[in-house]
Structure formats: structure tokens, C-alpha cells
Amino acid sequence: MPVYVARRVLLTIPTVLGTSILVFLILHLAPGDPATIVAGPTAPPDVVANIRTQLGLDQPVLVQYWRYLSHALQGDLGRSMLTQRAVSEEVAVAFLNTFELVIAARIWSLLVAIPIGVVAAVKRRSIFDKLSMVAALLGLSLPIFWIGLMAIWLFAFTLGWLPVSGRGGPLWTLDGLRHLVLPALTLGGIQVPALARLTRSSVLEALSQDYVRTARAKGLAERLVVAKHALGNALLPVVTIIGLQFAGLLGGAVVTETIFSWPGLGRLAVTAILTRDFPLVQGTILVAAVTFVTINLLVDLLYAVLDPRIKYA
Amino acid sequence: MTELTRARDPRPGSDAGRRLRRDRAAMAGAGCLLVLILAAVFAPVVAPYDPTKVSMRERLQPPSPKHALGTDQFGRDILSRIIHGARISLTIGLISVGIGLGLGTTLGLIAGFFRRADYPISALMDVLLSFPQILLAIAIVAALGPGIFNAMIAVGIGTVPAFTRLTRSSALSIREREYVEAARALGASNRRIIVRYVLPNSLAPLVVLGTLSLAAAILAAAILSFLGLGARPPMPEWGAMAAEGRGFIAQFPHIATFPSLAIFVVVLCFNLLGDGLRDALDPHLRE
């Protein structure tokens, strides 16, 4: 196991480095002179020249990248052009907010999708199976922003049960929880169809295996066959998808946070792009991408723990 | 050589066509798409009003016989804007997937056929895949600047890794086949082998991925426009129209709802057709 972990961690390093190169290049691929972009279009030439020297933009690109990487490794992602605050501070606060949102969305989507998938598989070809799979197909095609807007229209404006937008208080307060419900419902809702479909096909496959037939043949109750024999094996691929779906969750968080004015990474990234705040754009995207790579790594390691055959592959 | 140039894996051919025609969901998707494409092509004839014509006297009207889907905050007819928007959304989807298909297939063929190119290309794809698709698109838009053209490039680049990986794995398997070996023994160049044997035999899964990617690309581009990073008002792009309706969601939810439903229908149709094509070309995947 330690060898597998070490190999998997080492394989992640080139990906993270490549990610940092891509994020570093954002400023350099932007049309125009990077120093003028950072200084702003109306900045006088001496200010632009100062910024060029300060940020090392007069150095060769490789030197600039090394400087960017070494600073990033020490937690220094530069300063926001708009607020002049350290990007790492802004990103850290936003990261925690996104983390709360993503975890809440993940928990409720799992609580809904897995039972739907299991029941649909066990009651294959029943009305429930057909309806849930049609609903899943329809759900996969819905734009997330419409789900969010409809949630606001129904629960905030029409019923008046929940606040329209904002963060409210901390998560452990009632106000904080009330503000979390709609964004989490929207973000998690978009994940339910794919997860339910996958759980269904995974359970169906497990139910067709020999060990399930043996369990049935020895007279075990169907409930126990499903719970003890099929489900444990069926959930292995689901673990992988849960990891892969974090990409969808992080992407969806961008839209959800914008609709609900949730002060997370996604909203910060969009605001930064619209205000051309490049250090903040780079910081948010780098942190989001590295988080995603880390989650994938953790899922792989978890998969190896759950299925010992993996590490010998 | 004549015989060899005809060499193909047993092709799904007419069997696949028959299976596809029997798939009612896929046929419904294809039919609906055909109607949408015709509406998009003949938008100026089909649309009842000019999509950009402002009429403040008729602003914020609910659906009525005069305006089947109501009007927006500037009194513009929503149905006409949706019909004209179909042109934009379908074009965005086609161009984005065209970029992904062109770049991805080329890179995949190179990676799968030339061993030395495999690692750098695969590593680059791993890096691109380390970004959630919307985040990668946002990163590219951040570099190039917001706008519909840059949004298409951003969404297109986001689809490259899937095409590359698919073509690479097809190429890896096909290059070991006997007919490729035979062609090589007869002196066929690498380019000829790729164009005549590897590419045609990779086409079926590419068609499926291309169809499903169209759905994802249209959705992604709509999301970028909704965020203000793609098409901008007053362009009748569906995501931008939904964003405009956001401010009126409390009292006039129809402004954001109808463009969103248009996105839903197109994405659903492409998904149904893509699923149908996949099942028709590889019946083992049906379950």
C-alpha cells in the first residue's frame, strides 16, 4: 500500500505543475502588455514600468514562472488589483464558503440519488424504475441556472420560506443554514440524475453476479441479498463517480454562487474576470484546479483501500 | 493495394441504421432537432417579430395570443428571440465541437500512432482534465477576454481531451491489426495508414462523442453567457436571455424560463440522439 500511495502521489506532481503553468500563462496569453493589464489601461507609463519591474515582467518567461511557482508554494499568490488585499487571504475565505456549499450539496445528492438508484435496480422495469430513469434523463439536460432561478422564485419569492441570496451568518446559526439551503439544493440537484443512473446500473451489474445467485440459492431474503452482497460491491464504481463529480460540483458552484451571491471561489473568479483582476483570477483558478486534482488523488487512494485488487494492477 | 484500401473492421453499417431507426427516443430527438435546425435556418421567415425590436408599451407581458411566449423588459417578443437564438446556440455548439473534434482527433491520432508523442500529449490532456470543464472555459475566457467568439474557443478547448483520449485508444488498438501491418509491409506511409485505416475505423465512437459533446457544449456556452462571459445582450443567445430575465424572476419568471427551456430541449434532443447512436453502434452498451 505505501508503494501505491507514493506512486500515485508522485504521478500527481507533473499534473499540478502543468496546471500551474497553464494558470501562469493566463496573464501572458491575454491580449496586450501584462504590465499594462495589471496597472490598468489609464495608468501613466512610469507606473506601468514600475509594475513591470516589481512583478519581474521584464525577466525571461521561465524566470517569471519560477518566481510565480516559488511564491505560490509559499502561499503568496500576489495582491488583488482591486482591493489590494493578499489573494491568498481572499481565496482562503472564499474556499471555505465553497467547501461548505459543495459538501452540503454532495451530502443531500447522495442521500437522494443512491436510494433512487438502488430501488430502481431492485425493482427493474417497474413504474418507479422507468419514471426515475426518465426523470434522470430529463434532469441531465436542465441548465443549472434555471434550477437555481426556479428555486428562488418558488421558495424565496412565492412561498417566502427561504432567503433569496447571500451568506447569512456562520453555518452553525439558523440564519447561516437558511441561506445554505437553496444553493445546496440547486447544486446537489444537478448531480442527482447522473448519480442515480450510475447507482442503478452498478447495482444491476452486481445483482447479475454469481455470488448474488449463490446468496439467493441458499435462501437468503432478497433484502439481505441486496444490502449485504450486492450493495457493497455496487458502490465501488459509485465512489469513483462521486470523485469525478466534484468537477461538476466545482463547475456548478461557479453558477450557483453567482445566482445566490454566495461568496465562494466561483463567484470570486467570475467577478475577478469581469473586473480584469488577473492575480485574483489566477489565484482562484489555481486553488480550484489543485483542489480538484487532490480530490481525484484521494478518491483513487480510497478506491484502493476499498478494493485491494487496485494496488496490484 | 486495392483490396487493402477497402479493408475495414466489420462495419456496423445498415444494422446500426436499423437499430437507430427502431429507437423511438433517438428518433424523437432527431426529429425535434430537425425542426429546430429548420427554424434556425429560416428564422427571419418563421419568427413572428424582429428579435431586437424594442416596444416599451408592450414590456413584461405574459404569454398571450399576440406574443405566444410573452415579452421581455424591453417589450421584445421572446418567441422570436428564441427562434433567432437557435441559430446562435446551434452555431456555438457546432463550432465548439468542431474545434474539439479537429484538435482532439489530430492529437489523439498522433499520440496513438507515434509512441514518442504519446507521453507529452497525454500529459497535456491530464493537465486540461485537471480543470473542471466550466472552470477551464472560464480560465480561457479570462485570458482571451469575454465574448461569444472567445467562449466558443474556450468551450471547444474544453472538449479536446475527450476526443484525444478516445481517438488515441482507438488508434492504439487499430495500429496493431493485421490489415495495418499488411499495408505497412506493402510500403504504405504513416499518413496513408492513418487516413485510410485508423481514422475510418475510429469514426463510430467519434460520432457518438461528437453528438453528446454538442449537448454539453451548448450547455457550457449558455452558462458562460449567463455569467456574462460569453454572448452579451442584446444578442438573442439563450443563456444571455436567461441572465437578463434573472432580475425579473420574482414577478415575471417567464423571461428566464422560456430561453432555459429552449436550452433544455436542444440538450435533451442531442442527448437522446447520442444515446441512441451509442446503443445502435454498440448494442452491448445498451444495458
Q: A161-204: per-residue pLDDT in tens?
A: 999 988 888 888 899 999 999 999 999 998 898 889 888 988 88
Across the interface, whether the CB atoms of B139 and A149 are under 8 A apart is answered no
Across the interface, whether the CB atoms of A254 and B126 are under 8 A apart is answered no
B133 → chain A, closest CA residue: A251
Q: How far is B277 from chain A, CA to nearest CA, in Å?
A: 16
Q: Looking at residue A310, what is its pLDDT?
A: 64
Q: Cis peptide before B233, with omega less than 30 degrees from 0?
A: no
Instruction: Please provide residue B33's backbone torsions phi and psi, each rounded to the nearest 5 degrees.
Output: -65, -40
A199-230 CB burial, b ≥16 within 10 A, e <16:
bbbbbbebbeeeebeebeeeeeeeeebbeebb
Of A30, A143, A273, the CB nearest to B263: A143
DSSP codes of every residue in A43-102: --HHHHHHHHHHTTTTS-HHHHHHHHHHHHHTT---B-TTT-SBHHHHHHHHHHHHHHHH
A200 → chain B, closest CA residue: B287
Q: What is the average pLDDT value for chain A, to the nearest integer?
A: 87
- Check whether domain A87-306 has CATH 1.10.3720.10, yes or no: yes
Question: A18 contacts in B (CB within 8 Å)?
Answer: 123-124, 126-127, 130
Of A21, A142, A281, the CB nearest to B142: A281
Q: Looking at residue A222, what is its pLDDT?
A: 83
- The residue extents of the domains of chain B are 31-47+70-285
Q: Looking at residue B148, what is its pLDDT?
A: 92
Of B130, B132, B263, the CB nearest to A15: B130
Does the pTM of the predicted model rise above 0.90? no
Q: Tens digit of pLDDT for each residue in B84-100? A: 999 999 999 999 999 99
C-alpha cell at B93: 455548439
Nearest C-alpha neighbor of A203 from the set A179, A161, A183, A233? A233
Q: Tens digit of pLDDT for each residue in A206-219? A: 888 888 888 888 88
Distance CA B67, CA B58 (A): 10
Q: Looking at residue B3, what is its pLDDT?
A: 47
C-alpha cell at A167: 451568506
State CA B222 to chain mean position distance: 12
Contact predicate B265/B32, CB 8 Å: yes
Question: A281 contacts in B (CB within 8 Å)?
Answer: 139, 142
Q: Tens digit of pLDDT for each residue in A217-256? A: 888 888 888 888 888 788 777 777 777 777 778 888 999 9
Q: What is the mean pLDDT of each run of 10 residues along chain B (287 residues)?
A: 48 73 91 95 93 90 93 94 94 95 94 88 88 85 88 94 91 85 87 86 87 92 92 90 93 95 95 89 60
Instruction: Please provide residue B52's backbone torsions phi and psi, each rounded to the nearest 5 degrees.
Output: -110, 0
Question: B263 contacts in A (CB within 8 Å)?
Answer: 143, 146
- The residue extents of the domains of chain A are 2-72, 87-306
Q: What is the average pLDDT value for chain B, to the nearest integer?
A: 88
The DSSP letter of residue B72 is -
Complex-level ipTM: 0.85
* Chain A interface disruption, residue of B218, B249, B285, most A CBs within 10 A: B249
C-alpha cell at B265: 430541449
B128 → chain A, closest CA residue: A19
Question: B32 contacts in A (CB within 8 Å)?
Answer: none
* Chain A interface disruption, residue of B127, B149, B258, B284, most A CBs within 10 A: B127
Reduced to 3 states (helix: H, G, I; strand: E, B; else coil), residue B77 is: strand
Q: How far is B146 from chain A, CA to nearest CA, in Å?
A: 8
Residue at grid coordinates 429548420 = B38
CATH of B31-47+70-285, one of 3.30.450.20, 1.20.1630.10, 1.10.3720.10, 1.10.1790.20: 1.10.3720.10
